[in-house]
Amino acid sequence: MTDRTLIADLAPLPDGPVAVAGWVETVRDQKKVQFVVLRDESGAVQLVRPRPEGDDEVSSAISGLALGSFVRVAGALKHDERVKLGGIEVKVESLDVVAASLPEQPIAADSSIDKRLDHRFLDLRNPVNALIFKVQTTFEHALRTWWVQHGYIEIHTPKLMNSPSESRAELFQVPYFETTAYLAQSPQHFKQMAQAAGFGKVFEIADAFRADPSFTARHATEFTSVDAEISWIDSHEDVMAMHEAVLVAGFEAVREAHGEEVERLLGVTVEVPSTPFPRIPLARAKEIVAERGYTVPRADADMDPEGERRISDFVREEFGHDFVFLTDYATSIRPFYHRRHDDDPALTNSYDLIYRGTEISTGAQREHRIDVLLDQVRDKGLDPAELDDYLEFFRYGVPPHGGFGMGLARVLMLMLGRSSIRETTYLFRGPNRLRP
């Protein structure tokens, strides 16, 4: 339909002939006049058709419309400030039902999230849900733009691996001809290979997989991971500085492009964080939440979800900030490739980034010295032979480097005030969901 006009582009046009297409959202089939709300990917418009004496083909077609049917309409655009939906309407002259819907819709506005996900293609017709993925597009584009403008190279790493990147316990095994492959839970090793290759600065936005049987609002078995890695750093401070800068660019772009619509449809204000983000060593963060009445159950463990919420409350009160870097994690709870403090090998040059009470990212300076790296592999009880392809990078020289991995759906969930990453993932995959 070459002359189709997007609904969002109708308002500036003069009164006169116009053609639109979309799906039927509502029908009011009255005795003297018929009204249809038609929605496309850009917005909604009211269609009106005075009913003739004795129904004609068009009025009969409108009477028979099932909600959700896709139609083409030709008619006359009219500006009328009395029309609540945008101050415009289209007087229908012809209507073509391109694809009729079944009369009964399988989901409603109050359907459970699981039922809505069963019919995700219908769920995404909701303007609120569609907005989430417009925001996602803008956010990803802004991240990419920032990285490209700062000399980063975009890479696409393989998702089939011959050996585990971190813990085999959280890997999906896949039959691969005469052997076994693993679905990558992170592009970690390949990001580091790019440093050995002399790329200097790289990024990737791609799928990752984690065989974690969690049913929380923030876990998925397949997710979009946002990753970056940079060479010639002095410490994890350089990684954090890059991380916060690229996030600010993403949030600024979302606020500019979608801020008003997010506020109108979601009741959420897109807040661009100031830099630098607050930084608190993990040990001190645990002390702070303990002083505020909560003790993290295991002293030798990561901050748990309740601790993350408590430290975020503290940061919001003390710094007026939604983000906080928790730094200097214990060696015992970090992977073998995190660089350890020069003056305290019990701690690593690493961080988690907490946003509004939820961890969204892990970053660190990596260990680039092969002899030290081998010691750390053995210290973690891993077999260097299983990591030989990875370790080979370091036998030919790698500069000091570091980076982060960040869950895209978690960032969007928290930015937009959604209750679960099921809402901010196009098609969610979890322990009990493999469809649609």
**Where exactly are the structural domains of the chain?**
7-99, 120-415
For position 158, what pLDDT does the model report? 96
pLDDT tens track, the chain, 436 positions: 458 999 999 999 999 999 999 999 999 999 899 999 999 999 999 999 998 887 799 999 999 999 999 999 999 999 999 999 999 999 999 999 999 999 999 999 899 999 999 999 999 999 999 999 999 999 999 999 999 999 999 999 999 988 765 556 689 999 999 999 999 999 999 999 999 999 999 999 999 999 989 888 889 999 999 999 999 999 999 999 999 999 999 999 999 999 999 999 999 999 999 999 999 999 999 999 999 999 998 777 889 999 999 999 999 999 999 999 999 999 999 999 999 999 999 999 999 999 999 999 999 999 999 999 999 999 999 999 888 889 999 999 999 999 999 999 999 999 999 999 999 999 999 999 999 9
Burial call 12-36: b when 16+ CB within 10 Å, e when fewer: eeeeeebbbbbbbeebeeeeeebbb
Q: 180: annotated binding-site residue?
A: no
Q: What is the Rg, in whole angstroms, of the alpha carbon atoms belonging to the chain? A: 27
pTM (predicted TM-score): 0.94
Instruction: Please report the pLDDT score of residue 8 as a whole number.
Output: 95
State whether residue 347 is helix, strand or coil: strand
Q: Is 125 annotated as a binding residue?
A: no
Other CB atoms within 10 Å distance of the CB of residue 314: 18
CB-based contact 99:80 (threshold 8 Å): no
Mapping DSSP onto H, E and C, the string for 241-310 reads HHHHHHHHHHHHHHHHHHHHHHHHHHCCCCCCCCCCCCEEEHHHHHHHHHHCCCCCCCCCCCCCHHHHHH
Nearest by Cα to 361 from 326, 312, 311? 326
Instruction: Provide the Cα torsion 102, 103, 106, 108; round to 10°.
Output: 140
What is the C-alpha to C-alpha distance for residues 194 and 215, in angstroms, rounded to an integer? 34
- pLDDT at position 1, please? 46
Residue 49, marked binder: no
- Which of 26, 69, 23, 68 lies closest to 48, judged by CA? 26
CA separation for the pair 214, 193 (Å, rounded) = 31
Minimal CA–CA distance to 350: which of 360, 359, 337?
337
HEC per residue, 116-171: HHHCHHHHCCCHHHHHHHHHHHHHHHHHHHHHHHCCCEECCCCCEECCCCCCHHHC
**Segment holding 40, helix H or strand E:** strand 33-40
Is 70 within 8 Å of 21 (Cβ atoms)? yes
Is residue 410 marked as binding?
Answer: yes
> Residue 180: beta bridge partners?
175
Instruction: For residues 26 and 14, give the distance between their C-alpha atoms in angstroms, rounded to a whole number.
Output: 26
Judge whether 408 is annotated as a binding position: yes
Residue 255 marked in a binding site = no
- Rounded CA separation 246/403 (Å): 13
Residues in the chain: 436
pLDDT at 170: 82
Minimal CA–CA distance to 164: which of 209, 198, 196?
A: 209
Per CATH, the number for 120-415 is 3.30.930.10
Pairing of strands 279-281, 323-327: parallel
- Is 359 marked as binding a ligand? yes
Is residue 8 a known part of a binding site?
A: no
Dihedral sign from CA coordinates of 231, 236, 241, 245: positive
Place of tokens 């009164």: 15
DSSP, res 386: G
Q: Which tokens hold the place of 17?
A: 């002939």
Strands 16-29 and 70-79: antiparallel
The CA-atom distances, in angstroms, between 406 and each of 6, 41, 219 are 35, 29, 13
> Which tokens belong to 415?
């930015």
Is 334 flagged in the annotation as binding? no
Which neighbouring-strand residues pair with 350? Answer: 364
Q: How far apart are CA 302 and CA 414, in angstroms?
A: 21
Dihedral of alpha carbons 338, 243, 361, 316, sign: positive
**Fold for the domain defined by 7-99:** OB fold (Dihydrolipoamide Acetyltransferase, E2P) (2.40.50)
